[in-house]
């Protein structure tokens, strides 16, 4: 089985040992996502709606890197 990983480049990925998304065969897992800017600061402080949108954009980008789409998602937690 082929395993494909994608990384966001966030400094904490190397520190705690995770990747943004992982594809193993037909399955894709996306790790915990927080609303941060590319520079590492909080996106839209005090605006949970904009923060949620930012999280979905981050997830969507990660999925695209492993050849998946938001429409492929069958479960969230």
Residue 77 lies in a domain: no
Q: What is the CATH number of the domain that holds 53?
A: 3.30.1330.40
Q: Beta-carbon neighbour count of residue 74 at 10 Å?
A: 5
- Residue 52: pLDDT band with limits 50, 70, 90: very high
- Number of domains within the chain: 1
Average pLDDT over residues 31-47: 91
User: Looking at residue 12, what is its pLDDT?
Assistant: 77
Domain-located, residue 53: yes
Q: Is the pLDDT of residue 5 over 80?
A: yes
Q: Where are the alpha helices (DSSP H) in 1-77?
A: 11-16, 48-65
Q: Is residue 35 part of a domain?
A: yes
User: Could you list the residue range(s) of the whole structural domain that residue 27 is in?
Assistant: 3-72
Q: How confident is the model at residue 10 (pLDDT cuts 50, 70, 90)?
A: confident
Strand partners, 74: none
């Amino acid at each position: 089985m082929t395993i494909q990983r994608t990384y966001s480049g966030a400094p904490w990925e190397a520190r705690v040992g995770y990747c943004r998304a992982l594809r193993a065969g037909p399955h894709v897992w996306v790790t915990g996502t927080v609303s941060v800017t590319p520079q590492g600061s909080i996106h839209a402080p005090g605006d949970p709606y904009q923060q949620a949108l930012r999280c979905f954009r981050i997830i969507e980008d990660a999925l695209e890197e492993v050849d998946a789409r938001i429409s492929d998602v069958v479960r969230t937690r």
